[in-house]
Structures are given as C-alpha cells and as structure tokens.
Amino acid sequence: MIGTVEKTLELAAAPERVWRSITEASELSRWFPDRVDGGDLVAGGDGGWVWEEHGHYAFRVEVMEPPIRLVWRWAREPNTALEEAATTTVEWVLEPGSDGGTTLRLRESGFTRVEDRSENDAGWDAELGELVALLAD
C-alpha cells in the first residue's frame, strides 16, 4: 500500500454533535457530498456519496460504534459498484475532550497509487474545513 491520510481536529462541539455530522445524511450533505444516497449511515449499510461534478461513489459502513468510531469503505472511481472498484477505508474516531469538545481523528488507508493518496489528502483538508465551519455555527 502507498500510505495513509491522517488528520486530527480539535473541535469545540460535543462528541454527540460531531457524530451526527458524520452519520446523518442531512448533516453530511451540508459539508461532505452534495447528497447521500441511502439515507443516514447504519452498520452494514450501503449507499453513495454524490457530488454533482464528480459522480456517485459507492460506500459501505463497516463499523459503527456511536458516538466513538465509524468505519466505511468507498470506491475510488465514480459510478462503479463497490464490489468492482478499488477501495479505500476511512476510519473516524471521536474522543471527548475535558473542555466538552471533541478530538476527531480521521484515517484513510488502502491507497494503491501515490496520486490517489495525495488527491485525497488535499480533499480531506477542504472537506474537513467545511465540517469545522458547520460545527462553528
């Protein structure tokens, strides 16, 4: 494998609020994809992240331990079934802070090309910036 993407954020929002923002379709569509096919995330659930300019990226929720840990696998290529696609795995870990906030750790692994890892590294910076803005409201 070609490395991982790892990000850590210190957020003022409580873990339960952060959890909703990474698992509820109405919240996710405010900062990550344009829309979520399949509704709210559930353990074992399949769906799709949809960006109007990029296409539909299939995903499957592998692990869901509210409000601490979420793991999903998603297709690297748009408009491709998960079983037919190269995939990466995204793990979210939320740790309550002593101040009532949350430490969010994101780790994406399974890259087979340096270009894909670099693209997602930059992509997560942009997307997580939108999450920070959402949670600041």
18-57 residue pLDDT tens = 999 999 999 999 999 999 999 999 999 999 999 999 999 9
Strand partners, 60: 46, 73
Q: Name the residue among 102, 108, 110 with its Cα closest to residue 125.
A: 108
Tally of CB atoms within 10 A around 7: 15
> Among the CATH numbers 3.40.1390.30, 3.30.1540.20, 3.40.50.2300, 3.30.530.20, which is that of 5-136?
3.30.530.20
Domain boundaries defined on the chain: 5-136
Q: Determine the Cα–Cα distance for residues 72 and 28; give it in Å rounded to an integer.
A: 14
Give tens-digit pLDDT for 79-102.
Answer: 999 999 999 999 999 999 989 999
Q: What is the pTM of this model?
A: 0.95
Biggest CA-to-CA distance, the chain: 44
Q: Name the residue among 101, 94, 88, 65 with its Cα closest to residue 5.
A: 88
